[in-house]
Amino acid sequence: MKTPEAPVEASPAAMSDRQILQAMSGLMAGMFVSILAGTVVANALPRIIADLGASQSSYTWVVTAELLAMTATVPLWGKLSDLYNQKLLLQISLGLFVVGSLLAGFSHDVSLLIFSRVAQGIGAGGLTALAQVVMAAIIPPRRLGKYAGIFGAVFAVGTVAGPLIGGVLVDTSWLGWRWCFFVGVPFALLAIVLLQLTLKLPVRRREAKIDYLGAFLIVAGVCALLIWVSLAGNSFDWASWQTAALTGGGLVLLAAAVFVESRVPEPIIPLGIFRNRTVALATVASLFVGLAMFGGTVFLSQYFQISLGKSPTVAGLMSLPMILGLLVSSTVAGQIISKTGRWKAYLVAGGITMTAGLGLLSTIGSDTSFGLTSVYMAVMGIGVGMLMQNLVLAAQNDVQATELGAATSVLSFFRSLGGTIGTSVLGAILASRVATEMSKGLAEAGVPAGAGAAGGGAVPDMATLPAPIREIVEHAYGVATGEIFLVAAPFAFLAFLAVLFIKEKPLKTTSGMQRLAEEADGTGQGDAGQGAAGQGGADSSSRTTVS
Protein backbone atom coordinates (compact mmCIF):
# COMPACT_ATOMS: atom_id res chain seq x y z
CA MET A 1 0.00 0.00 0.00
CA LYS A 2 2.99 2.30 0.36
CA THR A 3 3.81 2.34 -3.35
CA PRO A 4 1.23 5.01 -4.35
CA GLU A 5 2.20 7.16 -1.33
CA ALA A 6 5.76 7.75 -2.47
CA PRO A 7 5.01 10.09 -5.39
CA VAL A 8 2.55 12.03 -3.26
CA GLU A 9 5.13 12.66 -0.55
CA ALA A 10 7.97 13.25 -3.00
CA SER A 11 6.15 15.81 -5.13
CA PRO A 12 6.81 18.80 -2.84
CA ALA A 13 10.55 18.48 -3.43
CA ALA A 14 9.99 19.23 -7.10
CA MET A 15 7.82 22.33 -6.54
CA SER A 16 9.19 25.36 -8.33
CA ASP A 17 8.78 28.92 -7.11
CA ARG A 18 5.91 29.34 -9.54
CA GLN A 19 4.13 26.25 -8.25
CA ILE A 20 4.55 27.39 -4.66
CA LEU A 21 3.20 30.85 -5.49
CA GLN A 22 0.19 29.29 -7.21
CA ALA A 23 -0.44 27.08 -4.19
CA MET A 24 -0.17 30.12 -1.92
CA SER A 25 -2.53 32.36 -3.92
CA GLY A 26 -5.70 31.26 -2.14
CA LEU A 27 -3.84 31.17 1.16
CA MET A 28 -2.69 34.76 0.78
CA ALA A 29 -6.18 35.86 -0.30
CA GLY A 30 -7.53 34.27 2.86
CA MET A 31 -4.94 35.99 5.03
CA PHE A 32 -5.72 39.29 3.33
CA VAL A 33 -9.37 38.82 4.32
CA SER A 34 -8.43 38.05 7.91
CA ILE A 35 -6.23 41.13 8.18
CA LEU A 36 -8.84 43.27 6.44
CA ALA A 37 -11.44 42.24 9.02
CA GLY A 38 -9.35 43.73 11.80
CA THR A 39 -8.05 46.84 10.04
CA VAL A 40 -10.94 48.03 7.86
CA VAL A 41 -12.97 49.00 10.92
CA ALA A 42 -10.09 50.72 12.74
CA ASN A 43 -10.78 54.19 11.37
CA ALA A 44 -14.53 53.59 11.26
CA LEU A 45 -14.89 52.62 14.92
CA PRO A 46 -15.19 56.14 16.35
CA ARG A 47 -18.03 56.82 13.88
CA ILE A 48 -19.63 53.40 14.45
CA ILE A 49 -19.57 53.75 18.23
CA ALA A 50 -20.94 57.30 18.03
CA ASP A 51 -23.76 56.24 15.64
CA LEU A 52 -24.74 53.33 17.87
CA GLY A 53 -24.58 55.51 21.00
CA ALA A 54 -22.07 53.23 22.70
CA SER A 55 -19.30 53.94 25.22
CA GLN A 56 -15.51 53.80 25.30
CA SER A 57 -15.86 50.35 26.90
CA SER A 58 -17.88 49.21 23.87
CA TYR A 59 -15.16 50.60 21.58
CA THR A 60 -12.71 48.29 23.31
CA TRP A 61 -15.13 45.34 23.19
CA VAL A 62 -15.66 45.58 19.43
CA VAL A 63 -11.91 45.08 19.03
CA THR A 64 -11.53 42.64 21.92
CA ALA A 65 -14.42 40.34 20.91
CA GLU A 66 -12.72 39.31 17.68
CA LEU A 67 -9.33 38.92 19.36
CA LEU A 68 -10.87 36.87 22.20
CA ALA A 69 -12.69 34.50 19.85
CA MET A 70 -9.62 34.14 17.64
CA THR A 71 -7.35 33.54 20.63
CA ALA A 72 -9.56 30.94 22.28
CA THR A 73 -10.06 28.87 19.10
CA VAL A 74 -6.54 28.92 17.60
CA PRO A 75 -5.33 25.83 19.53
CA LEU A 76 -8.35 23.80 18.38
CA TRP A 77 -7.81 24.84 14.73
CA GLY A 78 -4.13 23.91 15.07
CA LYS A 79 -4.96 20.47 16.41
CA LEU A 80 -7.56 19.88 13.69
CA SER A 81 -4.89 20.75 11.09
CA ASP A 82 -2.74 17.87 12.38
CA LEU A 83 -5.64 15.43 11.98
CA TYR A 84 -7.83 16.49 9.06
CA ASN A 85 -7.97 18.15 5.63
CA GLN A 86 -6.22 21.51 6.03
CA LYS A 87 -7.69 22.94 2.85
CA LEU A 88 -11.26 22.17 3.94
CA LEU A 89 -10.56 23.68 7.36
CA LEU A 90 -9.33 26.87 5.69
CA GLN A 91 -12.50 27.05 3.60
CA ILE A 92 -14.69 26.51 6.68
CA SER A 93 -12.93 29.32 8.52
CA LEU A 94 -13.48 31.64 5.54
CA GLY A 95 -17.16 30.66 5.52
CA LEU A 96 -17.44 31.67 9.19
CA PHE A 97 -15.83 34.99 8.31
CA VAL A 98 -18.48 35.60 5.63
CA VAL A 99 -21.30 34.91 8.10
CA GLY A 100 -19.75 37.21 10.71
CA SER A 101 -19.20 39.99 8.16
CA LEU A 102 -22.81 39.92 6.98
CA LEU A 103 -24.12 40.00 10.56
CA ALA A 104 -21.83 42.93 11.39
CA GLY A 105 -22.90 44.88 8.33
CA PHE A 106 -26.58 44.56 9.26
CA SER A 107 -26.07 45.35 12.98
CA HIS A 108 -28.34 47.99 14.48
CA ASP A 109 -27.02 47.83 18.03
CA VAL A 110 -23.62 47.29 19.58
CA SER A 111 -24.58 43.89 21.07
CA LEU A 112 -25.16 42.31 17.65
CA LEU A 113 -22.02 43.99 16.35
CA ILE A 114 -19.94 42.43 19.13
CA PHE A 115 -21.55 39.01 18.51
CA SER A 116 -20.74 39.23 14.80
CA ARG A 117 -17.14 40.09 15.65
CA VAL A 118 -17.00 36.83 17.63
CA ALA A 119 -18.01 34.90 14.49
CA GLN A 120 -15.35 36.77 12.51
CA GLY A 121 -12.83 35.98 15.24
CA ILE A 122 -13.51 32.24 15.10
CA GLY A 123 -12.92 32.32 11.34
CA ALA A 124 -9.79 34.44 11.80
CA GLY A 125 -8.54 31.90 14.34
CA GLY A 126 -8.65 29.23 11.66
CA LEU A 127 -6.82 31.41 9.15
CA THR A 128 -4.22 32.46 11.72
CA ALA A 129 -3.43 28.89 12.73
CA LEU A 130 -3.69 27.20 9.35
CA ALA A 131 -1.99 29.65 6.98
CA GLN A 132 1.43 29.24 8.54
CA VAL A 133 0.96 25.49 9.00
CA VAL A 134 0.26 25.07 5.28
CA MET A 135 3.24 27.26 4.37
CA ALA A 136 5.49 25.05 6.51
CA ALA A 137 4.00 21.95 4.87
CA ILE A 138 4.91 22.98 1.32
CA ILE A 139 8.04 25.12 1.87
CA PRO A 140 11.31 24.02 3.56
CA PRO A 141 12.44 26.27 6.45
CA ARG A 142 15.56 27.31 4.51
CA ARG A 143 13.37 28.71 1.70
CA LEU A 144 10.57 29.89 3.96
CA GLY A 145 12.18 33.24 4.75
CA LYS A 146 11.69 34.42 1.17
CA TYR A 147 8.02 33.49 1.17
CA ALA A 148 7.54 34.84 4.67
CA GLY A 149 8.49 38.16 3.07
CA ILE A 150 5.56 37.73 0.69
CA PHE A 151 3.39 36.91 3.69
CA GLY A 152 4.66 40.13 5.29
CA ALA A 153 3.82 42.04 2.11
CA VAL A 154 0.25 40.72 2.17
CA PHE A 155 0.07 41.64 5.85
CA ALA A 156 1.32 45.14 5.06
CA VAL A 157 -1.03 45.65 2.09
CA GLY A 158 -4.02 44.44 4.11
CA THR A 159 -3.05 46.62 7.05
CA VAL A 160 -2.58 49.69 4.85
CA ALA A 161 -5.56 49.07 2.57
CA GLY A 162 -7.93 48.30 5.46
CA PRO A 163 -7.86 51.68 7.21
CA LEU A 164 -7.82 53.51 3.85
CA ILE A 165 -10.81 51.56 2.55
CA GLY A 166 -12.57 51.99 5.88
CA GLY A 167 -11.90 55.72 5.93
CA VAL A 168 -13.16 56.23 2.39
CA LEU A 169 -16.30 54.18 3.05
CA VAL A 170 -17.08 56.12 6.23
CA ASP A 171 -16.49 59.45 4.52
CA THR A 172 -18.72 58.48 1.54
CA SER A 173 -22.27 59.37 2.55
CA TRP A 174 -24.01 56.93 0.19
CA LEU A 175 -21.96 53.98 1.47
CA GLY A 176 -21.24 54.40 5.18
CA TRP A 177 -19.55 52.26 7.83
CA ARG A 178 -21.66 49.14 7.15
CA TRP A 179 -19.70 48.59 3.95
CA CYS A 180 -16.56 48.23 6.06
CA PHE A 181 -17.89 44.75 6.86
CA PHE A 182 -19.47 43.94 3.50
CA VAL A 183 -16.29 44.76 1.55
CA GLY A 184 -14.44 41.68 2.78
CA VAL A 185 -17.10 39.19 1.66
CA PRO A 186 -16.09 39.04 -2.05
CA PHE A 187 -12.44 38.52 -1.07
CA ALA A 188 -13.42 35.66 1.25
CA LEU A 189 -15.48 33.97 -1.46
CA LEU A 190 -12.61 34.41 -3.94
CA ALA A 191 -10.20 32.86 -1.44
CA ILE A 192 -12.46 29.80 -1.04
CA VAL A 193 -12.49 29.27 -4.82
CA LEU A 194 -8.73 29.82 -5.20
CA LEU A 195 -7.97 27.36 -2.42
CA GLN A 196 -10.09 24.74 -4.17
CA LEU A 197 -8.33 25.30 -7.51
CA THR A 198 -4.70 25.84 -6.51
CA LEU A 199 -3.91 24.20 -3.18
CA LYS A 200 -3.12 20.48 -3.49
CA LEU A 201 -2.09 18.95 -0.19
CA PRO A 202 -1.48 15.34 0.80
CA VAL A 203 -3.97 14.61 3.59
CA ARG A 204 -2.58 12.27 6.22
CA ARG A 205 -5.75 11.17 7.95
CA ARG A 206 -5.00 10.00 11.45
CA GLU A 207 -7.62 7.93 13.21
CA ALA A 208 -7.63 9.79 16.51
CA LYS A 209 -10.23 11.28 18.80
CA ILE A 210 -10.26 15.02 19.40
CA ASP A 211 -9.97 16.04 23.03
CA TYR A 212 -13.24 17.97 23.18
CA LEU A 213 -13.15 18.20 26.98
CA GLY A 214 -9.69 19.77 26.88
CA ALA A 215 -10.79 22.14 24.10
CA PHE A 216 -13.82 23.24 26.15
CA LEU A 217 -11.76 23.78 29.30
CA ILE A 218 -9.11 25.80 27.44
CA VAL A 219 -11.66 28.01 25.67
CA ALA A 220 -13.75 28.52 28.83
CA GLY A 221 -10.72 29.28 31.02
CA VAL A 222 -9.16 31.73 28.58
CA CYS A 223 -12.48 33.48 27.96
CA ALA A 224 -13.16 33.86 31.70
CA LEU A 225 -9.82 35.55 32.29
CA LEU A 226 -10.08 37.77 29.22
CA ILE A 227 -13.63 38.84 30.06
CA TRP A 228 -12.36 39.80 33.50
CA VAL A 229 -9.51 41.83 32.02
CA SER A 230 -11.91 43.55 29.61
CA LEU A 231 -14.61 44.49 32.14
CA ALA A 232 -12.64 45.14 35.33
CA GLY A 233 -12.39 48.84 36.08
CA ASN A 234 -15.39 49.64 33.86
CA SER A 235 -18.34 47.37 34.60
CA PHE A 236 -17.07 46.46 38.09
CA ASP A 237 -14.14 47.22 40.39
CA TRP A 238 -10.85 45.40 40.12
CA ALA A 239 -11.34 44.31 43.75
CA SER A 240 -14.86 42.85 43.64
CA TRP A 241 -16.75 39.54 43.77
CA GLN A 242 -16.96 39.56 39.95
CA THR A 243 -13.16 39.68 39.80
CA ALA A 244 -12.88 36.81 42.28
CA ALA A 245 -15.44 34.72 40.37
CA LEU A 246 -13.93 35.26 36.90
CA THR A 247 -10.26 34.89 37.90
CA GLY A 248 -10.90 31.99 40.26
CA GLY A 249 -13.14 30.23 37.76
CA GLY A 250 -10.71 30.84 34.90
CA LEU A 251 -7.72 29.50 36.82
CA VAL A 252 -9.64 26.41 37.96
CA LEU A 253 -10.74 25.71 34.38
CA LEU A 254 -7.19 26.11 33.04
CA ALA A 255 -5.80 23.88 35.81
CA ALA A 256 -8.37 21.25 34.86
CA ALA A 257 -7.34 21.69 31.20
CA VAL A 258 -3.68 21.02 32.08
CA PHE A 259 -4.74 17.89 34.00
CA VAL A 260 -6.79 16.61 31.06
CA GLU A 261 -4.20 17.54 28.43
CA SER A 262 -1.48 15.65 30.29
CA ARG A 263 -3.46 12.41 30.18
CA VAL A 264 -5.17 12.17 26.79
CA PRO A 265 -3.39 10.61 23.76
CA GLU A 266 -4.26 13.54 21.44
CA PRO A 267 -4.14 16.76 23.49
CA ILE A 268 -5.20 20.07 21.95
CA ILE A 269 -1.99 21.66 23.22
CA PRO A 270 0.66 18.93 23.69
CA LEU A 271 2.34 19.94 26.96
CA GLY A 272 5.50 18.08 25.96
CA ILE A 273 6.13 20.62 23.23
CA PHE A 274 7.23 23.13 25.88
CA ARG A 275 10.20 20.90 26.69
CA ASN A 276 11.60 22.22 23.44
CA ARG A 277 13.60 25.29 24.48
CA THR A 278 13.08 27.08 21.17
CA VAL A 279 9.30 26.63 21.27
CA ALA A 280 9.08 27.66 24.93
CA LEU A 281 11.11 30.86 24.49
CA ALA A 282 9.43 31.74 21.17
CA THR A 283 6.06 31.31 22.90
CA VAL A 284 7.03 33.70 25.70
CA ALA A 285 8.34 36.21 23.15
CA SER A 286 5.16 35.90 21.04
CA LEU A 287 3.02 36.65 24.11
CA PHE A 288 4.90 39.87 24.80
CA VAL A 289 5.07 40.86 21.12
CA GLY A 290 1.30 40.51 20.86
CA LEU A 291 0.72 42.50 24.03
CA ALA A 292 3.00 45.34 22.97
CA MET A 293 2.08 45.38 19.27
CA PHE A 294 -1.71 45.04 19.40
CA GLY A 295 -2.14 46.86 22.68
CA GLY A 296 0.12 49.71 21.65
CA THR A 297 -1.22 50.32 18.15
CA VAL A 298 -4.96 49.57 18.17
CA PHE A 299 -5.74 53.00 19.58
CA LEU A 300 -3.56 54.96 17.15
CA SER A 301 -6.48 55.62 14.79
CA GLN A 302 -8.48 57.05 17.67
CA TYR A 303 -5.53 59.28 18.54
CA PHE A 304 -5.25 60.56 14.96
CA GLN A 305 -8.97 61.33 14.73
CA ILE A 306 -9.69 62.69 18.19
CA SER A 307 -6.42 64.18 19.38
CA LEU A 308 -5.17 65.42 16.00
CA GLY A 309 -8.62 66.11 14.50
CA LYS A 310 -8.07 64.12 11.28
CA SER A 311 -10.72 62.46 9.11
CA PRO A 312 -10.94 58.63 8.97
CA THR A 313 -9.33 58.61 5.51
CA VAL A 314 -6.42 60.80 6.59
CA ALA A 315 -6.02 58.70 9.76
CA GLY A 316 -5.61 55.65 7.52
CA LEU A 317 -2.88 57.35 5.50
CA MET A 318 -1.09 58.38 8.69
CA SER A 319 -0.49 54.72 9.61
CA LEU A 320 1.61 54.15 6.46
CA PRO A 321 5.05 54.74 8.06
CA MET A 322 4.60 51.90 10.54
CA ILE A 323 3.33 49.50 7.87
CA LEU A 324 6.07 50.41 5.41
CA GLY A 325 8.66 49.80 8.11
CA LEU A 326 7.14 46.38 8.77
CA LEU A 327 6.98 45.54 5.05
CA VAL A 328 10.58 46.50 4.32
CA SER A 329 12.07 44.80 7.37
CA SER A 330 10.13 41.53 6.99
CA THR A 331 10.87 41.29 3.25
CA VAL A 332 14.57 42.16 3.49
CA ALA A 333 15.16 39.99 6.56
CA GLY A 334 13.33 37.07 4.92
CA GLN A 335 15.44 37.27 1.78
CA ILE A 336 18.71 37.42 3.74
CA ILE A 337 17.68 34.54 6.00
CA SER A 338 16.91 32.36 2.96
CA LYS A 339 20.34 33.14 1.47
CA THR A 340 22.45 32.80 4.62
CA GLY A 341 20.43 30.43 6.82
CA ARG A 342 21.14 32.72 9.81
CA TRP A 343 18.12 34.06 11.68
CA LYS A 344 18.74 34.83 15.36
CA ALA A 345 20.37 38.22 14.75
CA TYR A 346 17.11 39.48 13.24
CA LEU A 347 15.12 38.37 16.28
CA VAL A 348 17.50 40.21 18.60
CA ALA A 349 17.55 43.33 16.42
CA GLY A 350 13.76 43.22 16.15
CA GLY A 351 13.34 43.09 19.92
CA ILE A 352 15.64 46.08 20.42
CA THR A 353 14.02 48.11 17.64
CA MET A 354 10.45 47.39 18.72
CA THR A 355 11.24 48.42 22.31
CA ALA A 356 12.86 51.63 21.08
CA GLY A 357 9.88 52.43 18.83
CA LEU A 358 7.39 52.04 21.67
CA GLY A 359 9.58 54.15 23.93
CA LEU A 360 9.68 56.92 21.34
CA LEU A 361 5.91 56.72 20.79
CA SER A 362 5.38 57.21 24.54
CA THR A 363 6.50 60.82 24.07
CA ILE A 364 3.71 61.81 21.65
CA GLY A 365 0.89 64.19 22.54
CA SER A 366 -1.73 66.36 20.88
CA ASP A 367 0.97 68.83 19.78
CA THR A 368 3.49 66.30 18.36
CA SER A 369 4.29 66.86 14.69
CA PHE A 370 3.30 64.10 12.28
CA GLY A 371 6.84 63.97 10.88
CA LEU A 372 8.22 62.98 14.27
CA THR A 373 5.39 60.53 14.93
CA SER A 374 6.06 58.95 11.50
CA VAL A 375 9.69 58.23 12.42
CA TYR A 376 8.62 56.66 15.70
CA MET A 377 6.00 54.48 13.97
CA ALA A 378 8.50 53.37 11.31
CA VAL A 379 10.99 52.30 14.01
CA MET A 380 8.33 50.21 15.71
CA GLY A 381 7.19 48.69 12.38
CA ILE A 382 10.77 47.66 11.54
CA GLY A 383 11.05 45.85 14.88
CA VAL A 384 7.74 44.02 14.47
CA GLY A 385 8.67 42.97 10.92
CA MET A 386 11.87 41.30 12.09
CA LEU A 387 10.27 39.59 15.07
CA MET A 388 6.81 38.29 14.22
CA GLN A 389 7.38 35.83 11.35
CA ASN A 390 10.86 34.78 12.36
CA LEU A 391 9.66 33.57 15.76
CA VAL A 392 7.35 31.16 13.92
CA LEU A 393 10.17 30.12 11.57
CA ALA A 394 12.47 29.31 14.49
CA ALA A 395 9.83 27.15 16.20
CA GLN A 396 8.74 25.31 13.04
CA ASN A 397 12.35 24.51 12.23
CA ASP A 398 12.94 22.86 15.61
CA VAL A 399 9.97 20.46 15.89
CA GLN A 400 8.96 17.22 14.22
CA ALA A 401 6.60 17.45 11.26
CA THR A 402 3.80 15.84 13.28
CA GLU A 403 4.07 18.77 15.70
CA LEU A 404 4.02 21.60 13.12
CA GLY A 405 0.33 22.36 13.64
CA ALA A 406 0.64 22.30 17.42
CA ALA A 407 3.80 24.44 17.52
CA THR A 408 2.44 27.01 15.07
CA SER A 409 -0.94 27.28 16.79
CA VAL A 410 0.70 27.62 20.21
CA LEU A 411 2.72 30.63 19.04
CA SER A 412 -0.33 32.15 17.33
CA PHE A 413 -2.41 31.46 20.43
CA PHE A 414 -0.06 33.24 22.80
CA ARG A 415 0.50 36.15 20.41
CA SER A 416 -3.27 36.63 20.13
CA LEU A 417 -3.62 36.16 23.89
CA GLY A 418 -1.11 38.92 24.43
CA GLY A 419 -2.94 41.12 21.95
CA THR A 420 -6.28 40.58 23.66
CA ILE A 421 -4.86 41.26 27.11
CA GLY A 422 -2.98 44.29 25.81
CA THR A 423 -6.01 45.76 24.08
CA SER A 424 -8.22 45.27 27.14
CA VAL A 425 -5.77 46.46 29.79
CA LEU A 426 -4.42 49.39 27.79
CA GLY A 427 -7.97 50.30 26.75
CA ALA A 428 -8.92 50.49 30.43
CA ILE A 429 -5.83 52.60 31.16
CA LEU A 430 -6.67 54.89 28.23
CA ALA A 431 -10.27 55.38 29.37
CA SER A 432 -9.21 56.06 32.96
CA ARG A 433 -6.48 58.53 31.98
CA VAL A 434 -8.77 60.32 29.50
CA ALA A 435 -11.40 60.77 32.23
CA THR A 436 -8.78 62.08 34.68
CA GLU A 437 -7.23 64.52 32.20
CA MET A 438 -10.63 65.79 31.05
CA SER A 439 -11.86 66.35 34.61
CA LYS A 440 -8.68 68.25 35.34
CA GLY A 441 -8.90 70.30 32.13
CA LEU A 442 -12.58 71.13 32.60
CA ALA A 443 -11.97 72.17 36.21
CA GLU A 444 -9.12 74.47 35.15
CA ALA A 445 -11.35 75.99 32.46
CA GLY A 446 -14.19 76.53 34.93
CA VAL A 447 -16.53 74.17 33.07
CA PRO A 448 -18.87 71.98 35.18
CA ALA A 449 -17.81 68.31 35.36
CA GLY A 450 -19.56 66.08 32.80
CA ALA A 451 -20.14 68.92 30.32
CA GLY A 452 -19.92 68.12 26.64
CA ALA A 453 -20.42 64.89 24.78
CA ALA A 454 -17.54 63.14 26.50
CA GLY A 455 -19.27 62.60 29.77
CA GLY A 456 -20.10 59.18 31.10
CA GLY A 457 -17.27 57.46 29.25
CA ALA A 458 -18.74 57.99 25.78
CA VAL A 459 -16.44 58.50 22.80
CA PRO A 460 -16.81 62.21 21.94
CA ASP A 461 -18.13 63.42 18.61
CA MET A 462 -15.53 66.12 17.96
CA ALA A 463 -17.61 67.92 15.34
CA THR A 464 -20.27 68.84 17.92
CA LEU A 465 -17.95 70.13 20.64
CA PRO A 466 -17.28 73.84 21.24
CA ALA A 467 -13.68 74.88 20.56
CA PRO A 468 -12.55 75.24 24.23
CA ILE A 469 -13.87 71.79 25.21
CA ARG A 470 -12.52 70.26 21.99
CA GLU A 471 -9.02 71.42 22.94
CA ILE A 472 -9.37 69.79 26.36
CA VAL A 473 -10.50 66.51 24.76
CA GLU A 474 -7.64 66.59 22.23
CA HIS A 475 -5.10 67.13 25.00
CA ALA A 476 -6.60 64.35 27.15
CA TYR A 477 -6.44 61.76 24.36
CA GLY A 478 -2.91 62.84 23.44
CA VAL A 479 -1.63 62.39 26.98
CA ALA A 480 -3.47 59.08 27.43
CA THR A 481 -2.22 57.62 24.13
CA GLY A 482 1.40 58.43 25.00
CA GLU A 483 0.94 56.73 28.35
CA ILE A 484 -0.30 53.43 26.90
CA PHE A 485 2.83 53.23 24.71
CA LEU A 486 4.92 53.80 27.82
CA VAL A 487 3.14 50.90 29.52
CA ALA A 488 3.62 48.68 26.43
CA ALA A 489 7.38 49.31 26.06
CA PRO A 490 8.55 47.08 28.97
CA PHE A 491 6.68 44.12 27.49
CA ALA A 492 8.57 44.54 24.21
CA PHE A 493 11.79 44.52 26.25
CA LEU A 494 10.74 41.22 27.85
CA ALA A 495 10.26 39.79 24.34
CA PHE A 496 13.82 40.91 23.55
CA LEU A 497 15.13 39.11 26.65
CA ALA A 498 13.32 35.91 25.64
CA VAL A 499 14.81 35.81 22.12
CA LEU A 500 18.30 36.37 23.52
CA PHE A 501 18.20 32.86 24.99
CA ILE A 502 16.93 31.08 21.86
CA LYS A 503 19.68 28.88 20.44
CA GLU A 504 20.26 29.31 16.72
CA LYS A 505 20.02 26.02 14.78
CA PRO A 506 20.57 25.38 11.04
CA LEU A 507 17.42 25.69 8.95
CA LYS A 508 16.11 22.43 7.52
CA THR A 509 16.07 22.02 3.73
CA THR A 510 13.06 19.70 3.46
CA SER A 511 9.40 20.70 3.58
CA GLY A 512 6.93 19.65 6.24
CA MET A 513 5.34 17.08 3.90
CA GLN A 514 8.71 15.50 3.16
CA ARG A 515 9.61 15.40 6.85
CA LEU A 516 6.21 13.88 7.64
CA ALA A 517 6.81 11.10 5.11
CA GLU A 518 10.31 10.46 6.50
CA GLU A 519 9.03 10.33 10.07
CA ALA A 520 6.21 7.96 9.06
CA ASP A 521 8.77 5.63 7.42
CA GLY A 522 11.11 5.89 10.39
CA THR A 523 13.83 7.57 8.28
CA GLY A 524 13.35 11.18 9.41
CA GLN A 525 16.01 13.15 11.19
CA GLY A 526 13.51 14.98 13.42
CA ASP A 527 14.72 16.58 16.61
CA ALA A 528 15.35 13.88 19.12
CA GLY A 529 14.02 14.32 22.59
CA GLN A 530 10.81 16.05 21.54
CA GLY A 531 8.77 12.90 21.08
CA ALA A 532 6.58 13.62 24.08
CA ALA A 533 4.90 16.41 22.21
CA GLY A 534 4.00 14.19 19.33
CA GLN A 535 2.87 11.19 21.30
CA GLY A 536 -0.39 10.89 19.41
CA GLY A 537 1.35 10.08 16.16
CA ALA A 538 2.87 6.89 17.47
CA ASP A 539 -0.39 5.16 18.27
CA SER A 540 -2.61 6.55 15.53
CA SER A 541 -2.97 4.81 12.18
CA SER A 542 -2.92 7.01 9.09
CA ARG A 543 -3.33 7.04 5.34
CA THR A 544 -2.40 9.63 2.75
CA THR A 545 -4.54 11.02 -0.05
CA VAL A 546 -4.48 14.22 -2.07
CA SER A 547 -6.98 17.04 -1.66
431 with 479: CB under 8 angstroms? no
Residue 504, domain CATH:
1.20.1250.20
Q: Round to whole Å and give the CA distance between 485 and 334.
A: 28
What pLDDT, in 10s, does the model give residues 323-338?
A: 888 888 888 888 888 8
Q: Round to whole Å and give the CA distance between 1 and 261.
A: 34
pLDDT band at 456 (very low <50, low <70, confident <90, very high): very low
CA 501 to chain centre: 24
Higher pLDDT, 519 or 531: 519
Looking at the domain assignment, is residue 224 inside a domain?
no
Looking at the domain assignment, is residue 245 inside a domain?
no
Q: Round to whole Å and give the CA distance between 353 and 355.
A: 5
Print the domain residue range for 320: 5-211+264-546
Mean of the per-residue pLDDT values for the chain? 78
**Segment 492-510 mean pLDDT:** 89
Is residue 439 classed as helix, strand or coil in its secondary structure? Answer: helix
Looking at the domain assignment, is residue 62 inside a domain?
yes
Buried b (16+ CB within 10 A) or exposed e, 474-506: bbbbbbbbbbbbebbbebbbbbbebbeebeeee
pLDDT of residue 143: 79
- Total domains in the chain come to 1
Looking at the domain assignment, is residue 486 inside a domain?
yes
Looking at the domain assignment, is residue 219 inside a domain?
no
Looking at the domain assignment, is residue 71 inside a domain?
yes
pLDDT band at 521 (very low <50, low <70, confident <90, very high): low
Looking at the domain assignment, is residue 227 inside a domain?
no
Looking at the domain assignment, is residue 426 inside a domain?
yes
What pLDDT, in 10s, does the model give residues 75-84?
A: 888 878 777 7
**Segment 181-210 mean pLDDT:** 77
**Segment 300-324 mean pLDDT:** 80
pLDDT of residue 252: 95
In Å, what is the CA distance from 189 to each residue of 44, 94, 97, 430? 23, 8, 10, 37
Is residue 209 classed as helix, strand or coil in its secondary structure? Answer: coil
pLDDT of residue 399: 83
pLDDT at 535 over 50: no
pLDDT at 524 over 60: no
